[in-house]
Amino acid sequence: MIRGDEQLRERLLSNDSEGPQSVRREEHEEEGISHYIVSKIYEPGAKQLRKGLNAFMAFSYGYSSIAVVSSLCLVINFGFETGGPSIMIWGWLVSSVFTLFTVVSMAEICSLYPNAGNVYYWSGILAPSERSGIILSYICAWFILLGNITADSSFSFGMTQIVSACVQLYSGGDRSLSTEIEVLLSILVLFSWKMKNKMKLDQQGWFSNFSAVYQLLSTVGVISIVMILSPTLSNSEFVFKRYNNGTGFNDQSQSVFLYICIMGVLMSLFGLSGYESGAALSEETKNADIEAPKGMVKAVIASCLTGVIFLLGMLYACSNNLEAALNGLTDQSVVNILHMSTQSKTWLTLVLSLVLILNVFLAGFAHLTVTTRVTYALVRDKALPGSKWMDHLNPKTQNPDRVLLIVFLLEAAFCLLPLISTTAFSALAQITTIAYNVSYGIPIALRLYQRATNSPNLRVGRYSFGKYSPLIQSFSLIWLCITSIVLLFPQKIDPIQGITIENFNYTSVVLVGTMIFACIYWNCSSIQRRFLGPKEQIDVHLSEISHLYQELPEYVQNVAKSIDQEYNLMK
């Protein structure tokens, strides 16, 4: 039991007979207590993750999880076939602008509510009523869970595809890994990430620092080498104006041409996804209400710049030869470009490919850390099946090991999709992108609703863009809606047979299937009695609220001091 002012605690709890869930929504303006401070001083008894991240670690996890170079290596084939170089580079620039709008919108919310549940938690706390908050947070929970799990699966399977391309290159194009072997290797990669994530988070944090630095330096190194060694560079007309259609659609009409251009943006969307990861680790970040949102925005800015450098380097290294990049010695365009730029030196191409493979491996490891934290936040609030069993922290590392196991099994299941469809990897990328978009859009829409209705619950955190915030949030919401709808449509067809089992876009099937399961679980289980929406962490440091401390009446300050003393005693 936390020692302190029991009278205040009873007053806070008595505002709603349903208990602590309503405490976070109360105004308490008569005592001069802000919504944020009340939620920080008395928070329901949720288990607390270990605080082991500093400001740079928060940034490095975000940058490593976005993993822009790794993501682009995996979907560059899609970019060449769906629009070609011009759509790749211009699509990246447009996507970067709207992604910055979106991350700024989310960072402002994160500043108010730093929580491992991130968008899921925000959807519950920003909703206009308790009931709508529970429903919206439940919907958002399933989308953010799906997005994170499919992202990990796409990283692991995409990495094995690059490994297979290296085997093709080494054998002179005679051999490649079968789909079954690729699936098996991807599951083994997931298992290695799982074992690595059993370490303490501060130990993982330094590993993530290395990952962020390595991704940046390896990108500069690889691009510098291919630009220097390439016998001839592409001209700027090829890079900025060359269009290509390898989708099977007849693009003679203006509408189909526009459709292909929009579909081509998927490469950029997948390359710039997962930027909520800084918020997912905010419970483990010191001074989280300012460092977590700053880390999110810095990670996206760094990713946008890294991505444009990588794309320009790869496109200029093509030597105006799009056909060789797509249909070279291997099935992976990135390896083919490296082979062209090194003037067919196999050993050097393999070395550069291994540098990129390690890049993908480090990215997947960092992203799995975020996935387990998000999943644990949902488990802690009893939003998922088996939450009672999974709600357990390893006493030595304070890691959610049981959640880690379940996440690994689910991701391994998604890695089996390539056994069914040749477009499975693109489907994984689309599922990831749409699931992220929906989960990002819900809290942003609720924030706009608060502003439009002049909600008394509207608050502004330490990180804010002031009067420009509504405009930024509006642009980001429109972008998320349009791109999500477009990505549900077919991405490829057979010119003769049309849409077949092999080229069918299974994105809608997985999304609808997930929602059906979530609805069945909601209506046919006891979750409606157990799940009361998101709740905050119990850990409180006075240093984190020192900037707000003077707002508190004296007796409330005593409660805060008591909580901090209790925390130190427990330590």
Where along the chain do its domains lie?
Answer: 1-42+545-571, 44-539
How far is residue 552's CA from residue 33's CA, in Å, rounded to a whole number? 6
Kindly state the percentage of the chain with pLDDT values over 90. 23
**Which residues in 398-431 are b (16+ Cβ under 10 Å) and which e?**
bbbbbbbebbbebbbebbebbeebebbbbbbbbb
Q: Which amino acid is at 40?
A: K
Which tens digits make up the pLDDT trace of 173-220? 778 888 899 999 999 999 998 887 777 666 666 676 787 788 888 888
Task: Say yes or no to pLDDT of 273 above 90.
Answer: no
43 neighbors 380 (Cβ within 8 angstroms): no
In CATH, what number does 44-539 get?
Answer: 1.20.1740.10
What six digits make up the tokens of 64?
Answer: 């490593």
Q: Which residues contact 351 (CB under 8 A, 6 or more apart)?
A: none
Q: d(Cα 364, Cα 67) in Å, to the nearest integer?
A: 8
pLDDT band of residue 567 (cuts 50, 70, 90) is low
Paired residues of 537 in beta bridges? 46
Q: Which residues fall within 8 angstroms of residue 129, CB to CB, at 6 or more apart? A: none
Tokens at residue 49, please? 């993750």
Neighbouring CB atoms inside 10 A of 7's CB total 10
Range 191-198, long-range pairs (CB < 8 A, 24+ positions): 191/408, 193/152, 193/156, 193/364, 193/365, 193/368, 194/368, 194/404, 194/405, 194/407, 194/408, 196/365, 197/365, 197/368, 197/369, 197/372, 197/399, 197/404, 198/394, 198/397, 198/399, 198/401, 198/404
CB 88 within 8 A of CB 269: no
Reading the block at residue 225, the tokens are 């080498």
pLDDT band at residue 300 under the 50/70/90 scheme:
very high
Determine contact, residues 62/296, Cβ cutoff 8 Å: yes
Q: What is the mean predicted confidence (pLDDT) over 281-303?
A: 81
Looking at residue 312, what is its pLDDT?
A: 93
At residue 120 the predicted structure's pLDDT band, cuts being 50, 70 and 90, is confident
Per the CB < 8 A criterion, the answer to whether 321 and 87 are in contact is: no
Quote the tokens at residue 350: 């393999």
**Relative orientation angle of helices 333-341 and 130-170, to the nearest 10 degrees:** 40
For residue 525, give the H/E element and its range. none
CB atoms within 10 A of CB 470: 15
Q: What is the pLDDT of residue 550?
A: 54
Mean pLDDT of 91-112: 92
> Rounded to whole angstroms, how far apart are CA atoms 512 and 243?
33
**Average pLDDT for residues 166-176, to the nearest whole number?**
85
Q: Can you tell me the distance from the alpha carbon of 429 to that of 479, in angstroms, rounded to the nearest whole number?
A: 18
Q: Please check the confidence at residue 306 and state whether its pLDDT lies above 50.
A: yes
pLDDT score, position 48: 47
**Residue 245: φ, ψ to 5°:** -125, 105
In 317-422, which ranges are continuous DSSP H helix? Answer: 322-326, 333-341, 346-380, 387-390, 401-414
Residue of 491, 12, 417, 490 lying closest to 186 (CA atoms): 417
Q: Which of 259, 251, 299, 262 is nearest to 278 (CA)?
A: 299
- Amino acid letter, residue 194: K
Q: Tell me the whole-structure pTM to 2 decimals.
A: 0.78
**Whole-angstrom distance, CA of residue 48 vs CA of residue 537:** 6
Q: Which residues contact 394 (CB under 8 A, 6 or more apart)?
A: 198, 400, 401
pLDDT above 80: residue 92:
yes
Residue 178: in which H helix or E strand, if any?
A: none
